Amino acid sequence: MRRTTHLNPANLCLTPARRGMLKCACHGLANLLLVTWYLLLHATRCVLTQVRKAVILAAGYGTRLLPATKSQPKEMLPLVDRPIIHYSVEEAVNSGITQVIMVTAFHKRAVEDYFDRSRDIEDMLEEKGDFERLEEMRRISKMADFAYVRQGEPRGLGDAVLTARHLVGDEPFALILPDDVIVGAKPTTRQLIDCYEQHHVSVVAVQEVPEADTPSYGIVAGDPDPSDDRVTRLRLLVEKPALGTAPSRLAIVGRYLLTPAIFEAIERTNPGYGGEIQITDAMQMLAGEEGMYAYRFEGERFDTGRPLGLLVASITMGLARPDVGPELRRFLRGIDLSEA
């Protein structure tokens, strides 16, 4: 025979004891939800503020190195036995970057090929038993996760950076110009990341240059940080000022740490010096809106976009190599440097 259970309304009444237990349970659940929300928010902020990506600009013509760059990208010219752009990627990776975005142009296919695998070369090295060099070739394509985007026409650094917007997303990112090869104990990009993690606004690498050289650079001025003599809070950025008009001798070099707000600033920037969209003009806008710092980096910089700079960089880096340095040093000592 089926039994029917009837609910006693008295059992549903909340006694003071039950009411207290329910209140405690609700309070505990609310605290749990609050802690969960805080942890999720903190994790999201960490992801959004962690610097994982670098944009490397490789779309220029390299006119200062003509005729060598007439048929090959300037970024692929060698420093000893590695192309110039290799050092940019290496610096990014050694700074903790995992994703590298290359901005190239129609004549820069060799850059993409360099960071891709070459089965033919790998097979040849394997057949020869040259396993050390084989592993080196394979490491190149595994240095980072690579992505490529092309700048349709040369319209300035600002426009080149803007082409990478959809790949960068809403994250801070490093910007590297390969012409500037910087050698030091700590990668320059890592120095900028450390500065960004302290101030949470964009940072640009600078160095002091002679007054006569200021028309060749973006020049900055601002207020020195009393707690760090390498840091300056920026007030003014000027792209290639006329001789005698520069606000300081602090020159921007090819290393930046930028917040994603730079993209909107570039979109609002009108063509400037040379009729191009200058990133310096967009950075001036950004400095006024959210703040920006300059950082005097530690390291030795070589401008490999000039013939003399490329030659000096090659000799300096060759001397530092244990496999070629000793013989190169002996050769240099034997050169007659007396003027004819």
pLDDT, tens digit (0-9, with 9 covering 90-100), for 47-76:
457 899 999 999 988 889 999 999 899 999
C-alpha distances out from residue 316 to 5, 112, 121, 265, 312, Å: 92, 27, 29, 39, 6
- Report the pLDDT value the prediction gives residue 25, as an integer from 0 to 100: 61
Report pLDDT digits (tens) over 294-303.
Answer: 999 999 999 9
Tokens read off for 279? 């990133």
Residues 6+ apart with CB under 8 A from 264: none
> What does the pLDDT average to over 190-213?
95
Tokens read off for 304? 């490999």
Q: Helices (H) and strands (E) in the chain — how many of each?
A: 13, 13
Structural domains of the chain in order of their starting residue, each with its CATH number: 51-323 (3.90.550.10)
Residue whose token pair is 């090929």: 113
Task: Determine contact, residues 222/294, Cβ cutoff 8 Å.
Answer: yes
Could you tell me which residues are beta bridge partners of residue 145? 99
SS3 146: strand
Angle between helices 307-319 and 325-333 (to 10 degrees): 120
Task: Determine contact, residues 242/230, Cβ cutoff 8 Å.
Answer: no
Report the percent of the chain where pLDDT is more than 70.
Answer: 85
Residues 6+ apart with CB under 8 A from 79: 87, 181, 304, 310, 313, 314, 317
- Which value, to the nearest 10 degrees, does the dihedral of the CA atoms of residues 90, 95, 101, 102 take? -40
Query: How far, in Å, CA of 211 to CA of 230, rounded?
Result: 20
- Report the pLDDT value the prediction gives residue 13, as an integer from 0 to 100: 55
Q: What is the pTM of this model?
A: 0.83
SS3 268: coil
Tokens read off for 165? 């917007």
SS3 238: strand
- Report the pLDDT value the prediction gives residue 42, as an integer from 0 to 100: 45
- The type of residue at 244 is G
In this prediction, residue 166 has a pLDDT band, given cuts at 50, 70 and 90, of very high
Angle between helices 84-94 and 188-199 (to 10 degrees): 40
Task: Determine contact, residues 90/143, Cβ cutoff 8 Å.
Answer: yes
Query: How far, in Å, CA of 74 to CA of 64, rounded?
Result: 9
- Report the pLDDT value the prediction gives residue 3, as an integer from 0 to 100: 54
SS3 253: strand
Q: What is the mean pLDDT of the chain?
A: 88
Q: Which of these, 258, 177, 244, lies nearest to 213 by C-alpha position?
A: 244
